[in-house]
Amino acid sequence: MQDDDVTVQTLETLINAPDEWALFLDIDGTLLNLAPTPDSIQVPEALPGQLNRLYGKLGGAMALVTGRSLAFADLLFKPFSFPLAGLHGAEFRDASGVSTATETEAFQALKHQLVREAEGYPGVLIEDKGGAVAAHYRLAPDYETILAERMRHYAEIAGPGWALQLGKMVFELRPARASKGDALERFLQTEPFRSRRPIAMGDDLTDESMFAIANARGGLSVRVGALDASSCAGHRLSSAALVRNMVATWAA
């Protein structure tokens, strides 16, 4: 895995040949610094405009691929909206519109039950994403073991249409058919992404399927932040700040 200097040099190819590349960006931990709680994440004032200029330079071949809901991601970067895969691909927006996973009454009831149970775990935060639900324990690391057990229990209740996704200090129950790798493939089948080489940037286990597709398609994969697990990414940037610096440079 190549570190910062070599990665920055390699990614300069995007600037030199923007018509040949498609850029796929995770949000939390990649574009934005991780925060203690999901709602306390901060967006630098200049970033939305920089992303919009870069989007134009790439001819629209830039997408955000995130575990956040589509609606929440749009709030982060308003007034701009970009092609976006939300909830790890369960929500999808391209030039043809939005496709959203159906939220059943049974899943709504499951989320309410989880919220009530989490009241007994001080510091554990439940994030209702509509078509998915996440249990964050960054503020309560001592609950990791019991939370893992309880989230496996809820995954069993939800049934085969749902999967338990592990992330950085979070357990998430999401639609089983959704993955960031599948979302990237879906984008690459549509214009203006078609026939371009993908650059995938992410920071977490949830991004590994996206890295694998980028590698298989002859593109570039970039893991952001400290390496706390093995990764199939070919390159590394040590911080989200470096990603934002590159976006600013590309957008200038």
Of these residues, 4, 5, 19, 26, which one is catalytic? 26
First-to-last C-alpha distance (Å) of the chain: 28
Per DSSP, 238 falls in state S
Catalytic residue status for 26:
yes
Per DSSP, 2 falls in state B
User: Closest by alpha carbon to 162, among 119, 124, 111, 125?
Assistant: 111
Burial letters for 50-65: b for 16+ Cβ neighbours within 10 Å, e otherwise?
bbbbbbebbebbbbbb
CA distance 59 to 69: 25
Task: Let me know: does 121 contact 147? Beta carbons within 8 Å.
Answer: yes
CA distance 216 to 228: 23
Task: Let me know: does 30 contact 203? Beta carbons within 8 Å.
Answer: yes
**Residues 6+ positions from 78 with CB-CB distance below 8 Å:** 48
Residues acting as catalytic residues: 26
